[in-house]
Amino acid sequence: MQRNIACNLALFRILISVACLPILIGCITTPIHIPSAAEISEGSIPSEQLTFLSRSAIGYPPPRPSASLQLKSNYFQIHSFTNLGNADSGIRTVLSTAGYRQLNYYGVPRGFAIATELELIDKTRAKQTFIPPKDIGPKRNPFLRSGYIRDLMTRPEPAIYRVMLFIVTDVGFVARAQFITSREIQLWLNSSDNILPENLRAFPLSKDHYLEVYIYEFEKTGYEENSLAKLVEHSPYDAQRQLKTAGIWKLLWQSPSKDP
């Protein structure tokens, strides 16, 4: 009797495995579809589906920031930017010139978002230099971004951190009501693309595309190594002042590179 039951269970498992095999193969072999330039130009992709990148760790719309600023509606026209590639090159040049070279890309409807790397700032929101601890232990790789971010956010002393998010879209949105946590911001920065896909750079900018900047600040008040930094819900410094302090504001209004 027990032998018959065992045989039946084994047969059942085989049947289930065979039935699921096509599904598993489909999951493995079916690639994530990113619209081609031809599909975009032909208009065969519904506008609500034009969330370009393969993943968007920030979610959409993004969570409520500590400070925000929407630039003039004709910002891209001022610089004669005509497509997403122009906008990307221009913003990337501005941030790189200001010292922000580690950039993180995310998908948003009909556009993209760029986040700066987590940085240490002082009470006036000026950038501070962070030197990772020398004693990192035998199992820690000092060149892993996740390790750097963790070292930065677990410093055993009070500190303020910042991430700036530059959003390009022509779709209006309202920030999500909930506030982001310091753990979630770490997941953001460890789950991003590093460039805008090449086949999306030709997507045209409409007269409604605009640039919005969200600034997320986190403050750690205790001296305990494992205490978490909490979001500053309302920054005492507005977004424009912070962009000026970071050396970004003037560069935004100069004539940055717009290579396609």
Together in a domain, 6 and 124: no
What average pLDDT does this structure show over 130-150? 49
Tell me the two tokens of residue 49: 């589906």
- Look up the pTM and report it: 0.73
Look at residue 224 and tell me if it is in a domain.
yes
Q: Are residues 107 and 210 in the same domain?
A: yes
Number of domains in the chain: 2
Please say if the pLDDT value at position 147 is more than 60: no
Burial call 59-78: b when 16+ CB within 10 Å, e when fewer? ebbbbbbbbbbebeeebbee
Report pLDDT digits (tens) over 155-183.
667 889 999 999 999 999 899 888 888 78
pLDDT given at position 247: 95
Beta strands in 72-194 (DSSP E): 103-108, 111-116, 119-121, 159-169, 176-179
Tokens read off for 112: 């993209």
Crossing angle of the two packed helices 182-189 and 145-153, in degrees rounded to 10: 160
Beta-bridged to residue 161, according to DSSP, are: 120, 218
Query: Look-up: residue for tokens 């489909």?
Result: 26
Q: Are residues 191 and 172 in the same domain?
A: yes
Give the pair of three-digit tokens for residue 130.
């962070």
State the pLDDT at residue 151. Answer: 65
6 lies in the same domain as 61: no
The answer on 99 and 207 residing in a single domain is: yes
Distance, in Å, from the CA atom of 182 to the CA atom of 122, rounded to the nearest integer, reads 17
Q: Which domain holds residue 13?
A: 1-30
**Whether residues 16 and 45 fall in one domain:** no
**Highest-pLDDT range among 2-11, 26-35, 67-76:** 67-76
Average pLDDT value for residue range 81-107: 93
Structural domain contains residue 257: no
Output 246 or 30, whichever has higher pLDDT: 246
